[in-house]
Chains A and B, each alone.
Chain A
């Protein structure tokens, strides 16, 4: 499991996840992701799931935890390119509305669209 974190605008960060995201992996990366988000002016997280080969409900916990951290700044979340199984897991968990398929550029555009009304 590894991840890349890139600020794509002043407010938006793309987090690219690779490998298998289970409870073990989440425990390895949560603090790092959380710290990186708190350092900046992040209000939007785009989770790029394209490189993720597996995810269980621990991934849902990771996403929900960061959503909670961004609540104070009315943060936004996008779950980009989940696999069919991840899609179901997010649906069960009520995160369906935040999923989208496309490129990171399209995700950033969508965030801007939402921000600008």
Chain B
């Protein structure tokens, strides 16, 4: 008779808190919650815009509450974290060979940050 009795360890529900790498992964994924709320804020602002000037200005006014500012600061930090992680991981999806070697991922990341800087400047130029 077999003496085998393989033991299966349970995965703790908070597995992602037990190691920094997993925690950072969950923060990366969790950034999407605040970005979702931000998109809803914008969608609501668009709705208020369609209702006329008074409604739109009321929406603009509501963004000035301390709670709204704190939320947007948090969302900004997490969105930036998303940007950093997205750029650092995206070279893995690039399958270009240059001179018989894979393209250096530092070049890809550098190009991404340059485009990011240009996009940010354009955003500011458009609204101002």
Chain A complexes with chain B: no
B binding-site residues for A, Cβ under 8 Å: none
